[in-house]
């Protein structure tokens, strides 16, 4: 593994405050000592080690932005981004578990839950409950608001029926932010967000997907058959779920950018280390200009991706519009992760194509970045709309 002298640190330390540097270093140490040794085995088994999730809670990584009044760290969005990046550098499955918890689930609860809902759920989210965000369905991916899951008012409750697909954290989650329509004829204005607990009658976690990458992260089907949800578990207002979904995913895209950044960094560090060890024609392959140029191009792309991700996160914390920057960060970082991981495999040569060496996993993990939380084409559409509107 790369030692400290070979670790790639694209941005200067002056871009982080002292507290942020300390936080980053603590997460990095945990990732190296506790997470990385288990990553290969978890990937092969397709199961995330439960003891690691317990440690995420103990370290405060599952409630970074949750106010201290509810037991959270009361931190900034930028700190959540740092955590996702550093965890993903060791294992992208860990990165997405923490990402969904913070940038989607806790974010939605903190922004839209009423006082009673916050009091009831936020302390659980920071102590022992994993969250999941259930929007996608078989017929509603990029067209998210074509969802068919119905919520019919039944006295003081709602009865929910339908199926959700591709739900990250589905196996581990105890709480779900789930979107259904109360009126299909109303289009997006019928979409409503519900807070659903795993043990609600009529709710079941279905099949876990067997995936190419981020295999340790569970991606599951959710089945709702007359799932009874009390009206006090409506998140926000009835018919305003589309607003919650759009605004939450805008922030979540920065988290995916951080995940992809971590993947790219991890792959680059391995390639750099290997290039200085592997000898051909009597010298390390890192002494050949062709390899040097590849490493330099990879490093430059990582630097650009990190600046995009960090800038978008800083803008979000500053309270200024960041939708375009978030889309750019996700789009570019996912491209960089896939390209850097692929190039790392080539630097390893034949060894890189085998599962005996870790770089192939980085490439497999990178592929999802162009797909979930908005495909690359959807990011391009968002960027194009905003730049044309503003010019």
Helices (H), the chain: 18-30, 36-45, 50-58, 77-90, 92-99, 107-112, 115-127, 241-277, 289-318, 323-348, 359-366, 376-389
Question: CA–CA separation, 122 vs 139, rounded Å?
Answer: 32
How many beta carbons lie within 10 A of that of residue 315, not counting itself?
19
Q: Per-domain residue ranges for the chain?
A: 13-130, 132-239, 243-389
Tell which CATH architecture fits domain 243-389: Up-down Bundle (1.20)
Say what the alpha-carbon torsion angle 325, 327, 333, 338 is, to the nearest 10 degrees. Answer: -160
Q: pLDDT tens for residues 338-367?
A: 999 999 999 999 999 999 999 999 999 999
CATH of domain 132-239: 2.40.110.10
Taking the complete model, does pTM exceed 0.85, yes or no? yes
Q: Which pLDDT score is estimated for 143?
A: 87
Q: Which pLDDT score is estimated for 357?
A: 96
Which has the closest alpha carbon to 101: 116, 115, 87, 119? 87
Q: Which pLDDT score is estimated for 3?
A: 47
Q: Which pLDDT score is estimated for 144?
A: 79
CA angle 283, 285, 287 (to 5 degrees): 75
Question: CA–CA separation, 308 vs 21, rounded Å?
Answer: 19
Three-state DSSP at 9 gives: coil
Residues 6+ apart with CB under 8 A from 192: 151, 179, 180, 181, 182, 234, 238, 239, 240, 241
Quick one: which H or E segment has residue 181?
strand 175-181
Question: CA–CA separation, 185 vs 169, rounded Å?
Answer: 31
Q: pLDDT tens for residues 34-85?
A: 999 999 999 999 999 999 999 999 999 999 999 999 999 999 999 999 999 9
Low-confidence ranges of the chain (pLDDT < 50): 1-6, 8-14
What's domain 13-130's superfamily in CATH?
A: Acyl-CoA dehydrogenase/oxidase, N-terminal domain (1.10.540.10)
Sign of the torsion angle spanned by Cα atoms 293, 299, 301, 303: negative
DSSP 12-58: -GGGS-HHHHHHHHHHHHHIIIIIHHHHHHHHHHT---HHHHHHHHH
Residues 151 and 180 sit within 8 Å (Cβ to Cβ): yes
Quick one: which H or E segment has residue 164?
strand 157-168
Q: Is 373 a catalytic residue?
A: yes
Say which of 79, 86, 325, 373 is annotated catalytic.
373
């Amino acid at each position: 593994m790369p030692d400290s002298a070979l670790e790639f640190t694209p941005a200067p330390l002056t871009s982080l405050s002292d507290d942020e540097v300390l936080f980053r270093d603590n997460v990095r140490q945990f990732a190296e000592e506790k997470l990385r040794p288990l990553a290969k085995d978890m990937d092969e088994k397709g199961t995330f080690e439960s003891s690691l999730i317990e440690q995420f809670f103990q370290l405060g990584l599952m409630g970074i932005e949750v106010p201290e009044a509810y037991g959270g760290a009361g931190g900034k969005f930028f700190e959540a981004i740092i955590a996702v990046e550093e965890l993903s550098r060791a294992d992208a499955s860990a990165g997405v578990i923490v990402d969904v918890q913070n940038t989607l689930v806790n974010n939605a609860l903190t922004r839209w839950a009423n006082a009673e809902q916050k009091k009831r759920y936020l302390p659980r989210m920071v102590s022992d409950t994993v969250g999941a965000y259930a929007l996608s369905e078989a017929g509603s991916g990029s067209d998210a608001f074509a969802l068919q899951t119905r919520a019919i008012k039944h006295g003081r409750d709602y009865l929910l029926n339908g199926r959700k697909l591709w739900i990250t954290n589905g196996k581990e989650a105890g709480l779900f932010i789930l979107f259904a329509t109360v009126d299909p004829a109303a289009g997006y204005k019928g979409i409503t967000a519900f807070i659903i607990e795993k043990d609600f009658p009529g709710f079941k976690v279905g099949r876990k997907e067997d995936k190419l990458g981020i295999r340790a992260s569970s991606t599951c089907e959710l089945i709702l058959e007359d799932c009874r949800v009390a009206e006090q578990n409506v998140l926000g207002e009835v018919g305003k779920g589309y607003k919650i979904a759009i605004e939450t995913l805008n922030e979540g895209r920065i988290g995916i950018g951080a995940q992809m950044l971590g993947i790219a960094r991890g792959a680059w560090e391995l390639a750099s280390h290997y290039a200085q060890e592997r000898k051909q024609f009597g010298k390390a392959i890192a002494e050949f200009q062709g390899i040097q140029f590849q490493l330099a191009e990879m490093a430059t792309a990582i630097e650009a991706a990190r600046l995009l991700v960090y800038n978008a996160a800083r803008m979000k914390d500053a309270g200024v519009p960041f939708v375009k920057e978030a889309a750019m960060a996700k789009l570019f970082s996912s491209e960089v992760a896939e390209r850097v991981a692929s190039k790392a495999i080539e630097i390893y040569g034949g060894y890189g194509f085998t599962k005996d060496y870790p770089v192939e996993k980085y490439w497999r993990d990178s592929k999802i970045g162009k797909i979930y939380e908005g495909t690359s084409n959807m990011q391009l559409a968002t960027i194009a709309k905003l730049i044309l509107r503003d010019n």
